[in-house]
């Protein structure tokens, strides 16, 4: 499995990112960010909406890690974009909070505050994102929670193709997600996943569990060491060529992710089995208003 993916800017994005949303929403993320960096994670994923960019910046500073060795993302909160305020204005505020001169990736977090106004609003947002990229405040620009229809609004007039699309991705949403994943791959847009462990964290006892256990046992036997159900799910994400963004307070969980390249890959049949079991239940945990 790859340890980095190449964005359409030529920049390498690490396959594993530490996210500061979910459990860290509106909380001090500095300690866990530093813990993640100390454990070897160089990809940090933040957002204006998470309301903790200052503490993400504090964790980065406290780590002492050279800026050039880190990959840092933040995302536009279009819900609070005020009349007369530009997307560049919001990113400059984010950079001040983060204590940075630039981010490696800046994403539109949610298309719906724009599309509820008009398709032209989303087109204008993307033009403004292209301006941020041209100014060097973001080394790459992309989107998050975009469906096929959202990408189809901005792609025809885009001078810069989005570098990434970060979406909830796991077997219980795969049937719905497959078209956007396929389109992203066709356009050279890297897929970033979040919520990848939802089937075991949020839907215990679901139809996927027996399949994960069978595959887990096979991998453990071939690997000669214990393998977790979470590692099986993450191997499935790897098979889908997805960057994995996750949040954890446990160093040992980070180690589990980092050990993934040493574990055998899933067979094509196992990938198919996971998807067939996942198709028995549709369960989305985030951004339901986008995917109605």
Report residue 1's pLDDT band, with 50, 70 and 90 as the boundaries: confident
Instruction: Please state, as a whole number, how many other Cβ atoms lie within 10 Å of the Cβ of residue 96.
Output: 12
Q: Is the pLDDT assigned to residue 291 strictly greater than 80?
A: no
pLDDT score, position 287: 83
The tens digit of pLDDT for each residue in 39-81 reads 999 999 999 999 999 999 999 999 999 999 999 999 999 998 8
| Sign of the Cα pseudo-torsion (263, 266, 270, 274, in order) | positive
Report residue 280's pLDDT band, with 50, 70 and 90 as the boundaries: very high
User: 79 in helix, strand or coil?
Assistant: helix
As for how many domains the chain has, the answer is 1
Is residue 59 domain-resident? yes
Is residue 219 domain-resident? no
Q: Is the pLDDT assigned to residue 237 strictly greater than 90?
A: yes
Q: Is the pTM of this model over 0.95?
A: yes
Is residue 235 domain-resident? no
The tens digit of pLDDT for each residue in 128-152 reads 999 999 999 999 999 999 999 999 9
Residues 6+ positions from 212 with CB-CB distance below 8 Å: 199, 200, 229, 232, 233, 274
The residue range of the domain holding 17 is 4-202+242-251
Annotated binding site for substrate: 109
Is residue 127 domain-resident? yes
Residue 283 · residue 206 · CB < 8 Å: yes
pLDDT score, position 83: 83
pLDDT score, position 292: 64
| 142 or 291, which is more confident | 142
Is residue 76 domain-resident? yes
Give dist(CA 275, CA 236) in Å, integer: 9
Annotated binding site: 109
Is residue 20 domain-resident? yes
**4-6/12-14 β-pairing:** antiparallel
Q: Dig out the tokens for 63 from the structure.
A: 């780590």
The tens digit of pLDDT for each residue in 111-133 reads 999 999 999 999 999 999 999 99
Task: Give the residue-averaged pLDDT of 250-257.
Answer: 93
Give dist(CA 216, CA 200) in Å, integer: 13
Give dist(CA 137, CA 102) in Å, integer: 5
Q: Is the pLDDT assigned to residue 105 strictly greater than 80?
A: yes
Q: Dig out the tokens for 42 from the structure.
A: 């160089």
- The domain that holds 162 is classified in CATH as 3.20.20.100
pLDDT score, position 206: 97
Show the CA angle centred on residue 155, arms to residues 149 and 157, nearest 5°.
Answer: 130
- Sequence-separated contacts (24+) of 266-271 with Cβ below 8 Å: 266/215, 266/232, 266/235, 266/236, 266/239, 270/215, 270/218, 271/236, 271/239
Task: Give the residue-averaged pLDDT of 245-272.
Answer: 95
124 vs 32, 86, 148, CA distance in Å? 36, 10, 18
Residues with a known catalytic role: 50
Task: Give the residue-averaged pLDDT of 242-251.
Answer: 94
State the distance between the two ends of the chain, measured CA to CA, in whole angstroms.
33
How many H helices and E strands in the chain?
12, 10
Task: Give the residue-averaged pLDDT of 168-189.
Answer: 97
Q: Dig out the tokens for 45 from the structure.
A: 């994923």
The tens digit of pLDDT for each residue in 15-30 reads 999 999 988 999 999 9
Is residue 265 domain-resident? no
Task: Give the residue-averaged pLDDT of 227-250.
Answer: 96
């Amino acid at each position: 499995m790859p340890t980095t993916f190449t964005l359409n800017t030529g920049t390498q994005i690490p396959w594993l990112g530490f996210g500061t949303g979910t459990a860290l929403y509106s909380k001090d993320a500095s300690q866990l960010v530093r813990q993640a960096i100390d454990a070897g994670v160089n990809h940090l994923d933040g957002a204006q909406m998470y309301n903790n960019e200052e503490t993400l910046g504090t964790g980065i500073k406290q780590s002492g890690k050279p800026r050039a060795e880190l990959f840092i993302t933040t995302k536009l909160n279009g819900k609070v974009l005020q009349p007369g305020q530009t997307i560049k204005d919001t990113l400059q505020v984010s950079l001040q909070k983060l204590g940075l001169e630039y981010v490696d990736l800046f994403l539109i977090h949610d298309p719906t505050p724009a599309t509820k106004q008009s398709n032209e609003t989303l087109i204008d947002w993307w033009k403004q994102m292209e301006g941020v990229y041209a100014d060097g405040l973001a080394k790459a620009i992309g989107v998050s929670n975009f469906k096929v229809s959202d990408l189809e609004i901005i792609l025809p007039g885009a001078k810069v193709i989005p570098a990434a699309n970060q979406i909830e991705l796991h077997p219980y949403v795969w049937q719905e997600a497959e078209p956007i994943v396929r389109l992203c791959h066709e356009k050279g847009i890297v897929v970033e996943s979040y919520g990848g462990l939802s089937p075991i964290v949020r839907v215990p006892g679901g139809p996927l569990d027996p399949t994960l256990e069978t595959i887990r046992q096979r991998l453990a036997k071939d690997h000669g060491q214990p393998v977790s159900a979470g590692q099986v799910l993450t191997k499935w994400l790897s098979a889908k060529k997805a960057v994995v963004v996750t949040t954890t307070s446990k160093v040992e969980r980070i180690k589990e992710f980092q050990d993934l390249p040493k574990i055998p890959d899933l067979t094509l049949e196992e990938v198919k089995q996971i998807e067939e079991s996942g198709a028995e239940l549709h369960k989305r945990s985030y951004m339901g208003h986008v995917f109605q």
